[in-house]
């Protein structure tokens, strides 16, 4: 009788382990990326407005209160401090975009 109950317990343990593995394999990974972040490169203010401002020095100066040359000079000085690494979950905001913000 004791041998039989050990076999039953072993069989139950194997079934539970297989069930757990199926749950893990069947589960899709969820990525936490807000909707605003997903559309940032096509609809974001920086990606749409900066291109226009870069073409017109007067509008660029009016918006940023500095010339493009000054903007780029300052960006070169602090770019390494603003840089962040991309992750598997989401792409980091570029140093130029962070500086513009």
Range of the structural domain that residue 66 is part of: 2-100
Q: Is the pLDDT of residue 1 over 60?
A: no
Look at the chain and report how many structural domains it folds into: 1
Polymer length in residues for the chain: 101
Give per-residue pLDDT as tens, 31-84.
566 676 677 777 778 888 888 999 999 999 999 999 999 999 999 999 999 998
Q: What is the pTM of this model?
A: 0.59
Running DSSP on this structure, what letter comes out for residue 31? -
Spatial separation of the C-alpha atoms in residues 13 and 69, rounded to whole Å: 69
93 Cβ contact partners less than 8 Å away, ≥ 6 residues apart: 84, 101
SS3 category, 88: coil
Position 93 pLDDT exceeds 90: no
């Amino acid at each position: 009788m004791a041998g039989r109950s050990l076999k039953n317990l072993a069989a139950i343990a194997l079934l539970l382990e297989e069930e757990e593995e199926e749950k893990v394999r069947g589960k899709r990974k969820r990525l936490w990326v807000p909707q605003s972040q997903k559309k940032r490169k096509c609809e974001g203010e920086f990606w749409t407005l900066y291109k226009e401002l870069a073409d017109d020095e007067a509008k660029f100066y009016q918006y940023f209160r500095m010339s493009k040359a000054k903007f780029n000079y300052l960006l070169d000085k602090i770019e390494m401090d603003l840089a962040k690494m991309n992750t598997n979950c989401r792409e980091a905001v570029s140093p130029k975009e962070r500086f513009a913000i």
